[in-house]
Amino acid sequence: MPKVVHIITRLILGGAQENTLLTVEGLMRKPGWDVLLVTGPAIGPEGELIERARKNGVRLIIVDQMRRAINPWLDLRSYRILKRILCAERPDVVHTHSSKAGILGRAAAHAVGVPVVIHTIHGMPFHANESALNNFIYKCLERTAAVWTDAIVTVCDAMADQAAAAGVAPRAKFTTIYSGMEVDSFLEAPAFRDDTRRRLNIPLGAPVIGKVARLFDLKGHEYLIGAMPEVLARFPNAKFLFVGDGILKDALAEQARRLGVLDSIVFVGLVESHEVPSMIAAMDLLVHCSLREGLARVLPQALLAGVPVISYDVDGAREVIIPGKTGWLLPPKEVKDLSAAIIEALSDPSRAREMALAGRDVCRGRFRAETMVDSVEALYRRFL
């Protein structure tokens, strides 16, 4: 029976983490696979998936020393612990996720001679919003780790193209496997629209513009808040639904207060993964103005729920959003374009709905968790 060890830096509520956990759970349901998940502690305000993993019977090891922030002492200890785990488990495949676990996990797998090493890039560690020095260091580390890697999975073609262009590895080493999700829960979500609005004290007839993301750097909430005054001048009863929590909550609330729009924002805070479909269904429009993503899971999730989408044109967004056909794509950081697109979508709900339904057809099969797990299993078997 082949044994697979997945390694991820932390199991918080996030796209990369949900992707990893769904992959582990899916492999567990398939005959002939022995699966272990290794992660650092889920520290921070973003929530965690550790309890779900345990509830679903995932064999789990938490390496307390493995943290997202760079710390040479803890990183060295994490590397040594990972080597001990891999020596004890003797896996056939090591599959790493995220930057920190990707470097340490692949180094440990190489050191102990694991036969097959796979890495998934969920989002680039180097990008235009990072310092030149950090980008140089990240690129050097990724190029080194790629030598120890049999295949690199990306969640969109854009990630593979960017990594290859940066010299991480030859383009042929990359395989795109779209991030899977529990599609049916989003297809069924519209039935919960009114109940969710009542629970959130949002009038049933009010236009609702939503954003699902951690309140964190590069997620772009400040651009949506900046667009609010112009939108509210046209739709004064509109509500802006922010789903997620994080270190920027107070700063974002202060920005909204200065602009006089704080009363139009509903800060939902953290919600469990199973609540996300109903939150999206409560929206008339989903806006994603992040500056750095692989392919934001919330874009196909919204389209599956029949909710129109507006996104900044970053990374893999254009692999889901076809301008004028399945949504709106805008230049990053543009506030006036964002407010104009929101007003356009709310002014013509029939057209916006048509685009959402066209997007649903695109996403229905591509983003099923089962499709992702089948593709991952096929990749393992190719190298085994």
Kindly report, as residue ranges, where domains of CATH 3.40.50.2000 are found in the chain.
3-180+368-383, 183-365
pLDDT tens track, the chain, 384 positions: 899 999 999 998 888 999 999 999 999 999 999 999 999 998 877 778 999 999 999 999 999 999 888 889 999 999 999 999 999 999 999 999 988 999 999 999 999 999 999 999 998 777 666 778 878 888 888 999 999 999 999 999 999 999 999 999 999 999 999 999 999 999 999 999 999 999 999 999 999 999 999 899 989 999 999 999 999 999 999 999 999 998 999 999 999 999 999 999 999 998 988 899 999 999 999 999 999 887 899 999 999 999 999 999 998 899 999 999 999 999 999 999 999 999 999 999 999 999 999 999 989 989 999 999 999 999 999 999
Please give the model's pTM, rounded to 2 decimal places.
0.88
173, 146 Cβ separation under 8 angstroms: yes
Rounded CA-CA distance 164/145 in Å is 14
Top CATH class of 183-365 equals alpha beta
| Tokens linked to 228 | 């609010």
What's the pLDDT score for residue 127?
66
What's the pLDDT score for residue 75?
93
Q: What angle do the packed helices 335-347 and 221-234 form, to 10 degrees?
A: 50
Q: Is the dihedral of CA 221, 222, 224, 225 positive or negative?
A: positive
Rounded CA-CA distance 142/166 in Å is 10
Rounded CA-CA distance 139/161 in Å is 14
What's the pLDDT score for residue 132?
81
Alpha-carbon distance values, 24 to 77, 163, 182, 266 (Å): 25, 25, 14, 34
Rounded CA-CA distance 298/213 in Å is 9
Top CATH class of 3-180+368-383 equals alpha beta
Residues in the chain: 384
